[in-house]
């Protein structure tokens, strides 16, 4: 993580500069300086005033709400009382339970409070927020800017996209206008409204820093990155363009301290609206699935495959019987377009495919045998399987210098293993220890690992050195790697 320092510069007055360089007053200096200043301004181009967000806030601020939650640690998924911690080992618990007497033998944990933001998208009370804002909540309260409060029902939540839909019983409510994230440009001014640290309807502003950012564990969302100040409590609040249209939902920040450090990320509103429609009409979210494992195309791969520049996502394996397999895609194909939408980097492919309705027949443009080819594919439905996975795993741990990914079902069968991760790239400490690309890491310090998360967790617990159980071809060996 990098600390970002935002600075604002102002024009240096040419008159002051000349005056500082001159020891005496020169007749006609003011006129000359005025001419010089005009000339400098002509070279620099017309100046533009900073945007004024006051009219925007006045128009749309009333549609932004405060979302507070109560989480009862004793409640189960169906909101029935859970067994108090330690009660199952108390001989009196069954006796009290049988006669319906409250059991007080073990201290009960207190309910926890949560705070977030949201915004109204329909006059009859539908509200969008983040799934993590209402996760595990047994009670949700929505507070409007006019101080009215409503108990909210969770219509549905989708953890993959971090979107939740709430419903309050009201009518004639103020609503936001939905914008088009596709029209957003890097450098555009944007504003966020939310409740950071409980300070309701706080407004912050900045610019769009980047688009289509892929974050760990968020494969299906092409995040909008901004430098708008977002803090705990802003989650679920809207991100507006200068026209007062919602283009995203503030969801995450990149921080060393837990507070804002110059990087914030918003879920594009078109992704959120699609999730909301699925939750309201079907009770679940449907996503498209291709059934391939992919990786990014770097300069060396592009050159070896005959591409003039790095682009697309290279297919490293194809799921047997999956949509891609049925369509004829194979390992080594480079996916350049899906349904006419350009795929510049591999991390863009999962979100592009996920937004396609399952059962839709779409064209996929690939690079094969030194030329472009178009293949029709009928998109499948994503269940527990991934749309396209591989490089999403990224760095397992900076201490090791490894880039790894999960094994595909075919790779596990071939390697005769139940878990593990395959090494895509080894640098630093791992490379010095002899770890190579293609090695399969099965365990750390005697503990079996099944995915990248378990590897990262095991390495984080190390005290300077870890022993990796590595399978290379048919041989297994422990390899010590220094992490200090």
Catalytic residues: 132, 162, 235
Q: At what angle do helices 14-21 and 29-44 cross, to 10 degrees?
A: 130
Write out the two tokens for 232. 């705990």
Write out the two tokens for 159. 């953890």
Reduced to 3 states (helix: H, G, I; strand: E, B; else coil), residue 115 is strand
Q: How far apart are CA 128 and CA 168, in angstroms?
A: 11
Pair 452, 444: CB distance under 8 Å: no
Q: How many CB atoms lie within 10 A of CB 311?
A: 17
Reduced to 3 states (helix: H, G, I; strand: E, B; else coil), residue 325 is helix
Q: How far apart are CA 176 and CA 65, in angstroms?
A: 11
Q: How far apart are CA 67 and CA 64, in angstroms?
A: 10
Nearest Cα to Cα of residue 267 among 322, 304, 218, 223: 223
DSSP structure class, residue 280: H
Q: How far apart are CA 191 and CA 207, in angstroms?
A: 8
């Amino acid at each position: 993580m990098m600390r970002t320092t935002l600075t604002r510069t102002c024009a240096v007055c040419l008159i002051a500069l000349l005056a500082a360089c001159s020891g005496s007053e020169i007749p006609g200096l003011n006129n000359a300086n005025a001419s010089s200043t005009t000339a400098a301004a002509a070279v620099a181009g017309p100046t533009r005033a900073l945007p004024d967000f006051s009219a925007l806030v006045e128009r749309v601020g009333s549609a932004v709400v405060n979302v507070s939650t109560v989480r009862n640690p004793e409640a189960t998924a169906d909101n029935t009382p859970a067994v108090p911690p330690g009660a199952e080992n108390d001989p009196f618990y069954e006796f009290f339970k049988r006669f319906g007497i409250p059991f007080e033998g073990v201290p009960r944990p207190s309910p926890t409070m949560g705070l977030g933001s949201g915004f109204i998208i329909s006059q009859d009370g539908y509200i969008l927020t983040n799934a993590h804002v209402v996760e595990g909540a047994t009670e949700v309260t929505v507070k409007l800017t006019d101080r009215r409060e409503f108990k909210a029902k969770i219509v549905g939540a989708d953890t993959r996209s971090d979107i939740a839909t709430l419903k309050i019983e009201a009518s004639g409510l103020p609503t936001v206008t939905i914008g088009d994230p596709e029209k957003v440009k890097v450098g555009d001014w944007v504003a966020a409204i939310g409740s950071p640290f409980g300070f309701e309807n706080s407004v912050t502003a900045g610019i769009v820093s980047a688009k289509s950012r892929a974050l760990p564990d968020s494969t299906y969302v092409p995040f909008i990155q901004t430098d708008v100040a977002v803090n705990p409590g802003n989650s679920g609040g809207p991100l507006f363009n200068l026209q007062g249209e919602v283009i995203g939902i503030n969801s995450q920040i990149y921080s060393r301290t837990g507070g804002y450090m110059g990087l914030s990320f918003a879920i594009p509103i078109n992704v959120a609206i699609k999730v909301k429609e699925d939750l309201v009409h079907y009770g679940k979210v449907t996503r498209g699935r291709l059934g391939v494992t992919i990786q990014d195309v770097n300069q060396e791969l592009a050159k070896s495959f005959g591409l003039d520049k790095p682009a697309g996502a290279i297919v490293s394996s194809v799921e047997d019987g999956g949509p891609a397999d049925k369509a004829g895609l194979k390992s080594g194909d480079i996916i350049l377009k899906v349904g006419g939408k350009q795929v510049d980097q591999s991390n863009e492919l999962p979100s592009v495919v996920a937004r396609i309705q399952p059962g839709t027949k779409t064209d996929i443009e690939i690079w094969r045998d030194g030329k472009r080819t178009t293949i029709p594919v009928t998109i499948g439905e994503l269940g527990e399987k991934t749309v396209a996975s591989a490089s999403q795993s990224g760095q397992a741990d900076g201490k090791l210098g490894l880039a790894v990914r999960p094994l595909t079902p075919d790779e596990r069968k071939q390697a005769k293993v139940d878990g593990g991760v395959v090494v895509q790239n080894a640098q630093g400490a791992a490379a010095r220890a002899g770890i190579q690309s293609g090695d399969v890491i099965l365990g750390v310090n005697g503990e079996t690992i099944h995915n990248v998360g378990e590897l990262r967790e095991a390495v984080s617990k190390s005290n300077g050195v870890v022993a990796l159980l590595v399978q290379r071809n048919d041989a297994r060996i422990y390899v010590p790697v220094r992490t200090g």
